[in-house]
Amino acid sequence: MFDSSLMSDLGHRFWYYLSCFAYVVHFKSYSKAAECLDVSQSSLTKAVQALENQLKVCLLLRGGRRSLDLTPQGDQIYAFSVAFFKDLFYLKRCLQGSETPQPYTLRLSIPEWIFCEYLFGPLMQCKHYHPDIKIAFDSPTDWDPVINGSTESIMRLTTNPRVGLIQKPLLQYRLALYASADYLKTHVLPRHLGDLNEHTCLYWQSEDPKLFEMMNWHRSEQDLRVLRSYSSETLIKMAQMGLGVISWFKASSHLRRHGLIEFAEDLSQHYAPTMTVYFECAPVSWHQASVQGLYRYLAASLRTFDTIPIEADLE
């Protein structure tokens, strides 16, 4: 039921003030926002100040070069404004008879071996049943979930949650040691982490230091006996040739097909880290049925693999 008192408290120009604030934050410039809205910069400044007065909070940090940085309250209000104006625009399109769904982008910021081993099938099926979803096979470093959150989500391998995002675990697995049968016949199996110094470790090159540390937990302290590569297929080939030991996810059918054998299970169980792939999106988009539906579908599809079980959570 409509409550007129709520509108009276907000004031009849509240939504105008809110849109002015959203433009200023989006463009990170009063002059560009004023030009887009066709108003003077002084009018725009007064509108933002009026919004702060009505809400009784400070939305922008004042002073120096940080004058357009958001306060925590400003970040919340901006996220709300993005969601509100998008829903309003969608309603307008529906009323005008234009109900064509807008493209939805799912970005992949994950190593290619995880995509090939676990995600190719589920994502291609998802694309078949939901052709409006665009899958971007890249690793964005400047992804802005606040601005693009209403049309984008991301699958990311990480150990560091991003503040302010909805982050749901999709896939979790442990790492283990693998080598060829010929290599294992000619080398003493390691019983302690230091024993790996007697082995040639094949390990992953990565620009991400966190990923580098996780994947290369087994690396030798003496880098003279280490072979490196950015390519998973190159590392697999080197392991097949008996050139050294590789760290890969436990119970990998991909490595079994290449004749590689898991060994020193007690060692990996004690020292190898657990890695997690997350589904991430901005809070302003999490309430959308399409976003939660995509998360449910991926979570259900990935339960069939030999990984640590994760239950879908829609709280």
> Which of 31, 60, 95 lies at the terminal end of a domain, its last residue?
95
Name the domain boundary from 61, 95, 129: 95
Instruction: Tell me: do 277 and 139 sit in the same domain.
Output: yes
Domain co-membership, 25 together with 152: no
Question: Within this chain, do residues 22 and 126 fall inside the same structural domain, yes or no?
Answer: no
pLDDT of residue 315: 42
pLDDT at position 185: 92
Same domain, 64 and 17: yes
Residue 149 pLDDT? 44
Residue where one domain finishes, among candidates 95, 120, 139: 95
Residues 59 and 20 in one domain: yes
- In total, how many domains does the chain have? 2
| Dihedral (CA of 176, 179, 181, 187) sign | negative
pLDDT at residue number 304: 57
User: Is the CB of residue 244 less than 8 Å from the CB of residue 270?
Assistant: no
CA torsion sign for 37, 43, 45, 51 is negative
The answer to whether residues 210 and 159 touch, using CB atoms and an 8 Å cutoff, is yes
CATH number at residue 63: 1.10.10.10
Are 127 and 224 found together in one domain? yes
Task: Break the chain down into helix, strand, coil percent, rounded to 5.
Answer: 50, 20, 35
pLDDT at 139: 53
Same structural domain, 299 and 170 = yes
How high is the pLDDT of residue 183?
A: 93
Angle between helices 30-37 and 14-27 (to 10 degrees): 130
Residue pLDDT tens, the chain, 315 long: 445 565 566 677 888 888 888 888 888 888 888 887 888 888 889 989 988 888 888 888 876 555 578 888 888 888 888 777 776 766 665 555 544 455 677 888 777 767 776 778 878 877 777 777 788 776 544 444 444 444 578 888 776 666 667 888 887 778 889 999 999 999 999 988 888 888 888 887 776 677 778 888 887 665 555 677 767 788 888 899 998 898 888 877 778 888 999 999 989 888 888 878 888 887 767 777 777 878 888 887 776 555 555 554 544
Question: Token digits for 304?
Answer: 């069939």
pLDDT at 99: 47
What CATH number is attached to the domain comprising 108?
3.40.190.290
pLDDT at site 260: 93
Supply the range of the domain harboring residue 215: 104-315
139 and 69 part of one domain? no
pLDDT at 91: 63
Q: What does the pLDDT read at residue 180? A: 94
Burial 279-290 (b: 16+ CB within 10 A, else e): bbbbbbbbebee
What residue has token string 């099938």? 121
Whether residues 131 and 187 fall in one domain: yes
Q: Does one domain contain both 54 and 114?
A: no
Alpha-carbon distance of 127 to 129, in angstroms, equals 6
pTM equals 0.55
84/139 same-domain check = no
Question: Do 147 and 209 belong together in one domain?
Answer: yes
